[in-house]
Amino acid sequence: ANESGAAVVNDSVKTTDGRHVEVAANIGQPAELEPAAKRGADGVGLYRTEFLFLDRETPPSEDEQYEAIRQALDTFPDGRVVVRTLDIGGDKRIPYLDLPDEENPFLGERGIRRSLAPDSDLFATQLRALLRAAADGAGDLAIMFPLVATIEELDAALDALEAAAGLDDYDADAVDPEVGVMIETPSAAFMADELAARVDFLSIGTNDLTQYVMAADRENERVGDLHDPTHPGVLRAIQQTVTAAHAEDIWVGMCGEMAGDPDLTELLVGLGLDELSMSAVTIPEVKTAVSETSYSSASERGDRAQLAATRSEVHTTLDT
């Protein structure tokens, strides 16, 4: 048992009626890898690569990035490691990168927008490091792009990945990592069908998705009530994303804070999420919750929840 009292479950988990749900870890520092494995993570569902760029004077070299990703892949030899490309801008500032001053940074050049900016070669370096690590590391690498809003951005990111693969002297076909996008903007949720047709997976970032769907700053407590993913507007965005992914036969995960709330596990399983990724502390509880959930009744509950008109109706649905 861990500090929350839930037993560590090392095997992958299924609902009582046999639906497999992947339970993975969100990682923000290399030191979190081992503890996540010990808590029973099936893999890494979100590796936040920003840490590599913090507390230093210059960007990390390709080799430094390679080593960090390699370590993650070797910690989960039988699992998948979803590495998110650099997600800076917004509230995440890096002094030496000299990012533009913006009046509304959360609506500015953040996430994939920054990676695709013409004045930056950070993206190409990072992609090369990722591909080299995928070729040498034990686990399966997946590459994920943050804050995508348009198909054009995805196409540009895929072009950059192809160019990075072409630059290396290894067999690009043999490496072939899964590629996915985060669903964090209303546009991405509305366009989930077109995105799903072009990638191997979608992962819902509910921290930002809630912020943008509800127009409520994720850091501002005065609007904390609005920044709640159980508002039906957010649930409908989630539902639409899951439906779009499954129509294209690809998997869909969630890596925002919502995924780690054991009180919401039944709802999320019911909405059809294939993977839940969270900070490692809650993994044992969420695995236990999945194993106690019946997918067929959860899915009826999920249907009712996303038809609710208000957040309180959603919660009534969850409690009955």
Binding positions for ligand PEP, rule: CB under 6 A: 46, 48, 87, 184, 205-208, 255-256
- 89 is a site residue for Mg ion (CB under 5 A): no
In the complex with ligand PEP, which residue's Cβ is closer, 22 or 87?
87
Q: Which residue's entry shows tokens 């399966």?
A: 140
Contact criterion met (CB below 8 Å) for 122 and 99: no
- 253 is a site residue for Mg ion (CB under 5 A): no
Question: Minimal CA–CA distance to 105: which of 117, 115, 119, 92?
Answer: 92
As measured in angstroms, the least distance from the Cβ of 255 to ligand PEP is: 5
Contact criterion met (CB below 8 Å) for 233 and 214: yes
Question: Minimal CA–CA distance to 168: which of 133, 211, 142?
Answer: 133
CA dihedral 252, 75, 28, 20 (to 10 degrees): 20
In the complex with ligand PEP, which residue's Cβ is closer, 45 or 59?
45
Which residues, 184 to 203, sit near Mg ion by CB under 5 A?
184
As measured in angstroms, the least distance from the Cβ of 211 to ligand PEP is: 8
In the complex with ligand PEP, which residue's Cβ is closer, 111 or 165?
111
Q: Which helix (H) or strand (E) holds 123?
A: helix 122-136
Phi-psi region of 215 (alpha: psi -120 to 50; beta: other; left: phi over 0): left
As measured in angstroms, the least distance from the Cβ of 292 to ligand PEP is: 26
Select from Mg ion, ligand PEP, none the partner in contact with residue 48, using the beta carbon and a kind-dependent cut-off of 5 to 8 Å. Answer: ligand PEP
In the complex with ligand PEP, which residue's Cβ is closer, 87 or 261?
87
DSSP 8-state symbol, 59: P
Question: Minimal CA–CA distance to 271: which of 300, 234, 233?
Answer: 300
- 42 is a site residue for Mg ion (CB under 5 A): no
- Binder of Mg ion out of 205, 272, 284, 302 (CB under 5 A): 205
Select from Mg ion, ligand PEP, none the partner in contact with residue 153, using the beta carbon and a kind-dependent cut-off of 5 to 8 Å. Answer: none
- 45 is a site residue for Mg ion (CB under 5 A): no
Q: Which residues bind Mg ion (CB under 5 A)?
A: 184, 205, 208
